[in-house]
C-alpha cells in the first residue's frame, strides 16, 4: 500500500471499514450453540411465528432462544386443565405455594401451551412445562439443546469513558414480543428508575447490541415521566406497525415501530386511560368476523376489548380524567370475565386463559370461546 | 409364591424411590422391553401426599432406571424438605406387562398394588431475617420512590407484595402505596428486594396522585412493616417481623447537583480513606456503584466504597496507598437520590419550564492526595 498521501490512506481506511461493515451484514446467520441452559430465573416467555421460543432470565442477565418441536397437529376446540396450579405443584413434588406460574405462551404451530414456572427450594428452580392437547403436563429439560443467547447487559456506546461497572444491570423483564425480525424486551431496573425497551436482532449475534429506548408518556400535558411498561403488543394502527404499551395505573400508549427504530429516546402518545387502580397484565391481538381487536387482561378490572377502528381514530390524551377510576380516550368493551392472569390466542374459536375462579378460588387453564 | 421367598417392596433410599425383590422373571422380561419413563409411569408413580389426598391425578416428574435387581425412580427435582410423598406400584400390571406367562396363567390378577408413604425431614437451617432497609435514614421525602430490603439469605420469589405494608400513625394500612411488579425486582442472589412506591402517586399531574394523594404526607410518621411469613429460598418464614419508621419531610423535586459536596482529601503514601459528604442522601445502591475515583490517565483506582451516615457519606478505601498527585471523582449522571432525581433531570420533568436532558457525561470533581506537611 502506498502511504505517501495522507488523504488517500484515510479514504482507504474508510473504505475498508465500510467493506467490513457490509460483509458483516452479509455474513451467514450465526449457528446456534449446543449444550445446557442453566436458568437463574425465568420471568417471561414468547414465541416467534416459526416456533422459536424466547426465554428471559433477568437474574442471569441473558435471553435465550430455543427451537421447539413444531409439527402441526389438530387442536381441540376445548381444552381444560382444572386446578392447573395444583397440577404443576404435584408434578414438581411440592405444594401449591411453592410452584408459581409466571408466564404462558402458545406455540404458534403445534398450539401446545408452554408455561414458565418457578419452584421454590434451595436453590430455586425455573423451568418450562409443556401442556399437550390432552392436558398432560411435561417438564422440558434444557439439557443438550440447540440455543441462541444474548446478554441483557447494556453495551457501552463506542468510545465511552464511563467505567464498565456502570453498565452492569439489575432488572426485571416485564414483557417480550417478537416483531419483524427483532426481539423486543421491556424491562425495569431495580436500581435506577428507567423503563427501557431493548431490541435484539435475531438470530442473536455475538455482537448483538441492545438498542435501548427510553420511553415516556404524558398522562398530562405538563409533566413528562417514564414508567415501566407492564405489557405490550405489536399492533398496526392506521396501517403502520406500532407498539401498544400498557402501563400501571393504567394508561395505554402507542409508539410507532419506525420511530422506535430511529430514536434513542421517544415520547409515546397516550391513547387511552383504562381507569386507575389497575394494571394491564396481558394484551393480545385477535381477529373476529374479519375485524381486528386488542384484548386486555387486567389485575383489578374485567377483560377489555378495543377495536382496531377505534385505535385508528384515537386522539392523544392530554387532559386529566375527571376523577379516580374514570376511563378516557379510546373506548373499550368491558368483557364479563375477571381474574384472567394469563391470556393468549389459541385458534379461530378460542383464547387460552389461566383464570382464577372467583367462586371457589381455583386456578384453571382453559379455552375461552371467542364470543366477542 | 414359593415358600420362603421375600415379596417385592418399595423403599425410599438415597433421594430415590426403589422397588426391590421383584420376581426375577418379571423384571428380566420388563428390562427386555426397554421401558422409557412414560412406560414406567403407567405402573410406578410417586405423588405428593397433598395430591394423593386431594385426588389430583398428577404424579411427580422424574426418571426411572433399573440397576441390577432394583428399579429406581428419581424425581426431576429433589424431594422437598418437610414434604410427605406417596409412591405406588401396580404390581398386577407389571406382572401382566412382563408377558411370557404361561397361557391361561392369571396369577397377576391377585397381585396387589404396593405402596409407600414417606416423609422428608425439613432441613434445619438458621432462620433468615431482614438485615437492613435502605434508605438508612428515618427522615425521608414525601415523594420517596425506592427502598431496598436486604435479607440475610436468598429468598423465594412471587410473594413479596403480600408481606409488605405501609402503615400510618394510627396503624391503618396505606393502600396501593407500591408499584407491583409481578416479576419482582431482586438482585442476582435474591437477597436484595427493590421496593418502588407507585410512581403514579408520586408524579405530579397524574390522576391517581390527585385523587388518592401521595402515599406519604409531609409532617407525618409511617411504618414500613415486613411480616415474618415472607419465606426464604427453603420455604421457611423469617425469624421475625421488621419495621422501619419513616418521618416524612417535604418532597424533593430538584435534580441532583454536586454543589455542596465536600471532599476530604486523603493523605498520600497512605491507605487513608477518601471521604465525600453530600448535603442530601443518595440512593444507597447507586452511590456504591456510580461513583468512582480515577487517576490522571482515567484509570479507575481499585478499592472499596462504603455509603454511611444516612446515605450522606461516601467513603473510599483504596486497595493501595495513594500516590501524591491529582485524582478525579467521577459520578454517573444517572446517580439518583431516593426520590428518583438524577443529575440530568428531576423525577418529573416539567415541560413548561425545561426540557429533558440526556447526557452520559460523568460529573467530575478533582482532588489531590498530598504528603503530610512536615
pLDDT of residue A158: 60
State the smallest CA–CA distance between residue B30 and chain A in angstroms: 24
C-alpha to C-alpha distance for A54 and A52, rounded to whole angstroms:
7
The average confidence (pLDDT) of chain B is: 89
Question: Nearest-CA distance from A246 to chain B in Å?
Answer: 13
Name which residue leads in pLDDT, B98 or A265. Answer: B98
What's the angle, vertex CA A8, arms to CA A7 and CA A11, rounded to 5?
A: 90
Mean pLDDT of A221-228: 62
Q: How many CA atoms lie within 13 A of A112 on its CB side?
A: 23
pLDDT digits (tens, 9 = 90+) for B78-114: 999 889 999 999 988 888 888 756 556 666 666 778 8
pLDDT on residue A367: 97
Q: In what helix (H) or strand (E) does residue B366 lie, and over which residues does it extend? A: strand B363-369
Instruction: Give percent of chain A with pLDDT exceeding 90.
Output: 54
Is-contact B364 B329, C-beta < 8 A? yes
From residue B49, alpha-carbon distances to A364, B56, B58 in Å are: 21, 10, 11
* Pairwise CB contact (< 8 Å): B205 & A219: yes
Chain-chain contact of A90 with B194 (C-beta, under 8 angstroms): no
Distance CA B141, CA B216 (A): 8
Whether residue A37 is predicted with pLDDT greater than 90 in this model: the reply is: yes
Largest CA distance in chain A: 86
In this prediction, residue A8 carries a pLDDT of: 44
Contact A324 B208 (CB under 8 A): yes
> Which of the pair, A262 or A285, is modelled with greater confidence?
A285
Across the range A297-301, mean pLDDT stands at 93
Residue B76: which region, alpha, beta or left (left: phi > 0; alpha: psi -120 to 50)?
alpha
What's the farthest any 2 CA atoms get from each other in chain B? 109
Whole-number pLDDT of residue B2: 42
CA B318 and chain centroid, separation: 31
Residues 282-341 of B with CB under 8 A from A: 283, 285-286, 289-290, 292, 298, 300, 330, 332, 334, 336, 340
| pLDDT at res. A22 | 44
Element (DSSP H or E) covering residue A13: helix A6-26
For residue A339, give the DSSP letter.
-
With cell 371467542, the residue in question is A370
Are B198 and A248 in contact (CB < 8 Å)?
yes
Contact indicator for A265, A233 with CB cutoff of 8 Å: no
CA geometry: angle B82, B129, A190, nearest 5 deg: 105
Of A101-115, B138-152, B197-211, the range with the lowest mean pLDDT is B197-211
- How far apart are the C-alpha atoms of B365 and A102, rounded to whole Å? 46
pLDDT band at residue B164 under the 50/70/90 scheme:
very high
Answer with the residue of higher pLDDT: A366 or A15.
A366
* pLDDT tier for residue B173 given thresholds of 50, 70 and 90: very high
Of residues B5 and B119, the one with the higher pLDDT is B119
Containing A363, the helix (H) or strand (E) segment is strand A363-369
Pairing of the two strands B313-318 and B303-308: antiparallel
Grid look-up 449522571 returns B333
CA distance A263 to A259: 6
Does residue A160 surpass a pLDDT of 70? no
pLDDT reported for residue A320: 67
How far apart are the C-alpha atoms of B149 and A142, rounded to whole Å? 32
- In tens, the pLDDT along B227-269 reads 999 999 888 899 999 999 999 999 999 999 999 999 999 999 9
Residues A326 and A317: their CA atoms lie apart, in Å, by: 13
Q: Between A73 and A27, name the one with better pLDDT.
A: A73
CB atoms within 10 A of CB B67: 8
Tell me how far apart the alpha carbons of residues B222 and B225 are, in angstroms, rounded to a whole number.
9
Cβ–Cβ < 8 Å for A342, A45 = no
Residue B150 cell numbers, joined: 436486604
Looking at the DSSP assignment, which residues form a beta bridge with residue A198? A185, A212
The pLDDT value given to residue A157: 60
Q: How far apart are CA A136 and CA A113, in angstroms?
A: 10
Please tell me the least confidently modeled range out of A39-48, A257-266, B212-221: A257-266
**A15-29, A305-319, A339-353, B13-27 — which one is most confidently predicted on average?**
A339-353
* Contacts with B360 from chain A: Cβ below 8 Å: 157, 160, 162
Stronger pLDDT, B3 or A355, i.e. the higher one: A355
CA A49 to chain centre: 14
Task: Tell me which residues of chain B, numbers 249 to 278, contact chain A at a CB-CB cutoff of 8 Å.
Answer: none
Distances (CA, A) of A166 to A311, A361, B288: 40, 45, 11
How many Å apart are CA A302 and CA A334, to the nearest integer? 6
**pLDDT tens sequence across B321-360:** 999 999 999 999 999 999 999 999 888 777 667 777 878 8
- CA–CA distances in Å: residue B180 to residues B106, B125, B144: 62, 30, 16
Q: How do residues A268-291 score in pLDDT, each as one tens digit?
A: 888 988 887 788 999 999 999 999
Phi, psi of A345 (to 5 degrees): -75, 145
Amino acid at each position: 500500500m502506498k502511504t505517501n498521501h495522507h488523504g488517500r490512506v484515510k479514504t482507504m481506511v474508510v473504505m475498508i471499514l465500510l467493506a467490513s461493515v457490509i460483509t458483516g451484514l452479509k455474513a451467514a446467520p450465526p449457528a446456534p450453540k449446543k449444550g445446557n441452559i442453566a436458568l437463574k430465573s425465568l420471568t417471561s416467555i414468547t414465541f416467534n411465528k416459526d416456533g422459536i421460543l424466547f426465554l428471559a432470565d433477568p437474574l442471569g442477565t441473558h435471553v435465550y432462544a430455543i427451537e421447539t418441536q413444531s409439527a402441526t397437529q389438530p387442536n381441540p376446540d376445548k381444552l381444560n386443565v382444572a386446578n392447573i396450579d395444583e397440577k404443576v405443584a404435584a408434578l414438581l413434588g411440592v405444594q401449591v405455594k411453592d410452584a408459581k406460574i409466571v408466564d404462558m405462551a402458545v406455540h404458534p404451530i403445534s398450539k401446545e401451551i408452554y408455561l414458565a414456572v418457578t419452584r421454590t427450594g434451595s436453590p430455586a428452580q425455573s423451568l418450562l412445562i409443556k401442556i399437550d392437547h390432552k392436558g398432560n403436563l411435561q417438564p422440558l429439560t434444557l439439557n443438550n439443546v440447540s440455543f441462541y443467547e444474548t446478554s441483557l447487559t447494556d453495551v457501552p456506546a463506542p468510545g465511552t469513558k464511563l467505567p464498565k461497572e456502570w453498565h452492569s444491570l439489575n432488572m426485571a423483564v416485564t414483557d417480550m414480543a417478537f416483531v419483524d425480525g427483532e426481539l423486543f424486551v421491556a424491562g425495569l431496573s431495580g436500581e435506577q428508575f428507567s423503563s427501557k425497551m431493548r431490541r435484539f436482532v435475531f438470530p442473536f449475534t455475538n455482537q448483538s447490541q441492545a438498542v435501548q429506548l427510553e420511553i415516556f408518556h404524558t398522562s398530562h400535558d405538563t409533566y413528562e415521566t417514564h414508567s415501566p411498561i407492564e405489557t405490550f403488543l405489536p399492533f398496526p394502527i392506521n396501517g403502520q406497525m406500532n407498539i401498544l404499551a400498557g402501563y400501571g395505573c393504567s394508561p395505554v400508549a402507542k409508539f410507532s415501530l419506525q420511530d422506535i427504530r430511529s430514536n434513542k429516546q421517544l415520547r409515546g402518545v397516550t391513547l387511552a386511560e383504562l381507569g386507575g387502580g389497575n394494571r394491564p397484565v396481558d394484551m393480545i391481538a385477535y381477529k373476529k368476523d374479519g375485524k381486528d381487536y386488542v384484548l386486555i387482561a387486567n389485575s383489578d378490572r374485567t377483560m377489555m376489548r378495543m377495536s382496531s377502528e377505534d385505535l385508528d381514530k384515537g386522539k392523544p390524551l392530554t387532559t386529566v380524567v375527571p376523577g379516580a377510576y374514570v376511563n378516557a380516550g379510546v373506548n373499550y368493551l368491558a368483557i364479563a370475565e375477571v381474574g384472567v392472569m394469563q391470556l393468549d390466542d389459541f385458534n379461530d374459536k378460542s383464547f387460552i386463559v389461566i383464570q382464577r375462579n372467583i367462586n371457589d378460588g381455583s386456578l384453571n387453564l382453559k379455552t375461552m370461546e371467542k364470543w366477542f | 409364591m414359593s415358600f420362603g421367598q421375600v415379596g417385592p417392596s418399595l423403599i425410599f433410599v438415597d433421594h430415590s424411590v426403589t422397588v426391590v425383590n421383584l420376581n426375577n422373571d418379571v423384571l428380566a422380561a420388563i428390562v427386555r422391553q426397554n421401558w422409557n419413563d412414560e412406560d414406567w409411569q403407567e405402573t410406578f408413580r410417586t405423588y405428593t401426599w397433598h395430591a394423593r389426598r386431594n385426588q389430583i391425578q398428577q404424579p411427580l416428574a422424574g426418571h426411572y432406571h433399573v440397576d441390577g435387581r432394583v428399579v429406581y425412580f428419581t424425581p426431576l427435582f429433589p424431594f422437598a424438605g418437610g414434604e410427605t410423598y406417596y409412591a405406588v406400584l401396580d404390581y398386577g400390571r407389571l406382572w401382566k406387562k412382563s408377558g411370557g406367562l404361561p397361557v391361561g396363567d392369571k396369577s397377576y390378577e391377585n397381585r396387589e398394588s404396593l405402596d409407600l408413604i414417606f416423609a422428608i425431614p425439613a432441613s434445619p437451617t438458621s432462620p433468615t431475617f431482614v438485615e437492613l432497609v435502605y434508605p438508612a435514614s428515618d427522615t425521608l421525602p414525601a415523594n420517596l420512590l425506592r427502598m431496598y430490603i436486604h435479607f440475610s439469605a436468598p429468598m423465594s420469589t412471587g410473594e413479596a407484595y403480600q408481606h409488605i405494608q405501609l402503615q400510618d400513625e394510627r396503624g391503618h394500612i396505606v393502600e396501593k402505596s407500591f408499584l407491583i411488579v409481578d416479576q419482582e425486582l431482586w438482585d442476582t442472589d435474591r437477597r436484595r428486594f427493590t421496593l418502588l412506591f407507585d410512581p403514579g402517586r408520586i408524579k405530579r399531574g397524574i390522576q391517581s396522585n390527585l385523587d388518592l394523594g401521595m402515599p406519604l404526607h409531609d409532617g407525618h410518621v409511617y411504618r414500613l412493616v415486613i411480616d415474618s411469613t415472607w419465606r426464604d429460598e427453603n420455604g421457611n418464614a423469617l425469624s421475625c417481623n421488621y419495621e422501619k419508621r419513616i418521618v416524612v419531610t417535604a418532597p424533593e423535586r430538584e435534580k441532583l447537583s454536586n454543589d455542596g459536596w465536600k471532599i476530604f482529601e486523603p493523605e498520600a503514601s497512605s491507605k487513608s480513606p477518601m471521604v465525600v459528604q453530600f448535603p442530601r442522601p443518595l440512593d444507597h445502591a447507586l452511590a456504591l456503584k456510580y461513583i468512582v475515583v480515577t487517576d490522571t490517565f482515567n484509570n479507575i483506582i481499585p478499592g472499596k466504597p462504603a455509603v454511611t451516615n444516612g446515605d450522606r457519606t461516601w467513603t473510599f478505601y483504596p486497595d493501595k496507598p495513594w500516590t501524591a498527585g491529582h485524582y478525579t471523582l467521577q459520578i454517573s449522571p444517572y446517580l439518583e437520590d431516593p426520590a428518583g432525581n438524577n443529575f440530568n433531570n428531576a423525577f418529573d420533568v416539567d415541560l413548561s419550564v425545561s426540557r429533558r436532558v440526556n447526557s452520559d457525561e460523568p460529573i467530575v470533581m478533582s482532588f489531590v492526595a498530598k504528603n503530610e506537611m512536615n
